[in-house]
Structure formats: C-alpha cells, structure tokens
A and B are shown apart, each in its own frame.
Chain A
C-alpha cells in the first residue's frame, strides 16, 4: 500500500493561559505531480451515465425480442433475459473491481466458480454425456478455471509473507535514531 506523505502544520494558540495546538495536515505537493496513466486519459462521466446506457440497451433488446416471434416465454420475452442479466452482472462485477481492487481476489474466484457451474450445466444439458462423470467437453475448461481462477488466487492471498511486527518496529526505531544522530 502506498502511504501518502503528509506535512503537518502546527499553529500555537494561547487559551486560558495554556497553549493549545491546532494541527492541520497538508498533503505534500510532490503527491500531486503524477504521471498520466492509461486510465487518466479516459474521459470521466457522471455516475448515472453507465447505468442509464445499460438501461437503454436493455430496453432496446426487449423491444427487438418483443418484435420477433414466438413471444411464448415469461412476460413474452424469449431470449433477452440472458443478455440483460449478463450486462447487469458484468457492470456490477466491474464496478466492484474498479472501486475496490483489493477485493478482486474474492470477486474473481466467485466469477470463475459461476462460470464453471454454467459450463457444467451446459455440458450436462446437451447429449451425448458419455465422458468422465457424464461430461463431454466441459471438464478441461472447468479444471483450468478452478485451478487458475480460484485455487491460485486464494493460495497466494493466504500465503502472502508478512514482515514480523517486531522487525518492522525495530527497523523504524533504528531509522529514527539515525535521523536523530544526523540532526
């Protein structure tokens, strides 16, 4: 985690014969000088732009579905439920990952498990179902998704080596002493 360097401005004030400090933290100006990344170049929009556009696309899909026959499924919508669900799901997942990248390690595996279940269902629904545990083609992609998308991210998250607090503290103490000596 990148720690923001801060500069503290202390103002002394006389109150009832005693000194009261008023501290105001100010971010170091160096922090504001940053290189423009790929994401900075993308224009920024108000929060409602993306959901509104998704809504318009969904309405468009529903209209196409209703305009074409046979219109026998739930609410006369035959196939549009799937792309609509997919769009909303993709938006929610990307929203979480963009806003909280640190939880990508849990959202990612959930997605992979979901996709594996979908592949499993598809393979089982369509014949001939004569392979290993009745799976014809889904076994290899499911195994790959579970290995690389679920197991490895979770193992690496749990197994991350952390510096011992006492070592961190002693190192900081030594640095502070060095700084004092230099001053």
Chain B
C-alpha cells in the first residue's frame, strides 16, 4: 500500500498539461469567484433556526410548516418541556401507556396518575420516537422506530414488574397490539385504535408527501389541544402518515398472534378512526377474553372528552378484573 504514495517522476508531457491547466485555472479563478453566487441559494430567513423565537410559540407551528414546505427546516430534536416519558413506581403490576400519532406522553399522564393513585400500579408513559420534538423529527422516523421505543419502554417496565398490561391510544394502541403479539403481556386496552382507515388520496400519499411535507391539523383539533394545553403537533408530517398506514398493514397481519385478554374502547364521534376498527380487531385476534365499550359522545381524543372519567374507570375495572383470583 505504501508504494502507492511514492511520488512518481513527471514526464515532460504531463508537465506541459499541468502548466496549461494551471494557466486556465488562474485565468478563470476571479470569474469563478465572482459567478459562484449563482450556485448559492441560502435562504436563512425561511429556516427554523433564524426564527427560533417564533418557533417556540406553538400556534406559529402551522405557519412555519407552510414555510418549511418551501424550504426544509433545521431539525429540532430536543424534547419539549413536559412532553417526555413519565414513571410512577408502584406494585408488581406494570401498566405501559402509549400515546397516539403526533401526540406526546403528556396525553396519557392523567390516566397514568389515576391508575397509580387508585390501584397502586407501576406506570410508565412512553414517548415514541420523533414525538414531542418537532414535526420534522417525526418525518425522519418510521413504524420500526416507534415500535423500538415501545419495546424499550416494555423492557424498562419489566425490570420493576412481573406482569404488564398495555394501554394505547390511537396509533399507540396499534403498536401495543403488535407488542402483545411478540411479547408476554397480561392484557391490552386499546382506545380508538385504527387497523384500517380510508383517507382521501391515501394510495397517492407517496407522491403527495414529496410535494407537501406537512399538512395542518383540523381547526377543532387544534382548539381542543389549546384548551387542554396539549403539546401535540399542530401539523401532520405526511411521510409519517405514510408509515402510519404501513403500521396498520403490519397490524392486520400480526394480530392473529395476540392471545392476551383485550378491551377495546371506541368513540362514537371519532373523526379519525372509523368505528368498525374495534370489530375488526376482535375478529382478528386470538384472545379468549374480548371486551368492548362504546362511548357515544366522545371524539378521537377520548381521554379529554366528556366521558373521560367513565372511560378511566372502565380501564381500571378491566385491569383489576385480569388479576382477580
């Protein structure tokens, strides 16, 4: 290998070519420098780093996302304040709470606190990859990353508890079902969990997501987030939506492996997940104990709806019924 680094003697022809190219490069260099601005398209005013003071204010996220559709932003990866995972140490029964798409662990905290205070369960609220940071961070992750986050949470909880129950809202429920199919769990509770949806133009999402990176969430949803001080993203990263649809496809194939008791909760006014999903889950799983609860007046954000206390009680009742001797 050292041989390659030995200097070779230059032939007269090579010398001539080198001197010619030097003259040419000396002649071009001032013009090259002068014209190089043609290749520079730096628009720092569009970038997230230049407007960091604005980006910290959440209602501006939709506007920034529209700008980001024109020029990609700098990816913010720091977890937002209060959005991170939480852990309440209790008895040998562990509850693993998983939030939904574009949401944070904060969404499940109230339920976790209630289960911990009432029954003394050990609670771990997981924060999925790409969530609680920025929509651009979410766009970089996929269903495998989200599953790995949940698995890490499960492994963590296993250090403290012998028995584990999974509770997941929306996409968190889909991930919990996948985990239940591959790991040992005592029971699963799914809230408004999708395994099959039909969104407008979903088959062409791979083309649309190239042109449009983010899509603002509906006004009612944003209002609900503001009302409950939720740290959810105000926009959906379309690349991540593509992976969410892939996750549902995986779930449909893997659900047969689930044999733990299952409790599904459906919202009557759910605008995101059609109510037939709970029925489909019941058809596909191999569990012997299957229960369902229909909350007629609730929307997709079921844990912040009018029947939230009743739903929390139902979940608590189902979990305690699993451990009755």
Residues of chain A having any CB pair with chain B under 8 Å: 1, 3-4, 6, 18-25, 27, 39, 42-47, 49-50, 53, 94-95, 98-100, 102-103, 105-106, 157-158, 162, 165-166, 168-169, 172-173, 176
Contact = CB atoms under 8 A, between A and B. Distances in A.
Contacts of A173: 182
Interface string B61-96: 000000000111001011100001111110000000
B27 interface: no
B131 to A, nearest CB: 11
B240 to A, nearest CB: 13
B41 interface: yes
A27 B77 contact: yes
Nearest to A97: B41
A8 B250 CA distance: 27
B249 A165 contact: yes
Given A53-B37, A99-B71, A106 B211 contact: yes
Nearest to A171: B144
A79 to B, nearest CB: 23
B44 A47 contact: yes
Contacts of A18: 86-89, 116
B84 A23 contact: yes
A6 B149 CA distance: 13
Given A19-B87, A42-B39, A169-B250, A103 B211 contact: yes
Given A23-B84, A165-B246, A43 B210 contact: no
B211 A166 contact: no
A46 B78 contact: no
A169 B144 contact: yes
B86 A20 contact: yes
A25 B210 contact: no
Contacts of B127: 23
10 contacts: A18-B87, A19-B87, A22-B84, A25-B77, A45-B40, A46-B44, A50-B41, A165-B249, A166-B254, A169-B254
Given A22-B79, A100-B72, A169-B144, A44 B84 contact: no
A42 B36 contact: yes
B87 A99 contact: no
Nearest to B209: A102
Contacts of B253: 166
B40 A50 contact: yes
B84 A45 contact: no
Interface residues of B, number: 47
A4 B206 CA distance: 21
Nearest to A95: B41
Contacts of B167: none
Q: Which of B84, B143, B151, B254 neighbours the largest number of chain A CB atoms within 10 Å of its CB? A: B84
A50 B78 CA distance: 33
A49 B222 CA distance: 39
Contacts of B45: 47
Nearest to A105: B210
Contacts of A162: 206
B301 interface: no
A24 B40 contact: no
Contact of B38 (A1, A50, A102): A50
B42 interface: yes
A36 to B, nearest CB: 15
A50 B87 contact: no
Contacts of B41: 47, 50, 94-95, 98-99
B40 A99 contact: no
A6 B250 contact: no
A172 B42 contact: no
B33 interface: yes
B272 to A, nearest CB: 20
A176 B150 CA distance: 13
A44 B38 CA distance: 10
Contact of B247 (A45, A49, A165): A165
A19 B40 CA distance: 49
Given A20-B84, A46-B44, A47-B44, A176 B143 contact: no
Contact of B151 (A50, A157, A168, A176): A176
A25 B37 CA distance: 35
Contacts of A53: 37-38
A99 B70 contact: yes
Given A103-B210, A106-B210, A43 B33 contact: yes
A19 B71 CA distance: 39
A50 to B, nearest CB: 6
A124 B250 CA distance: 56
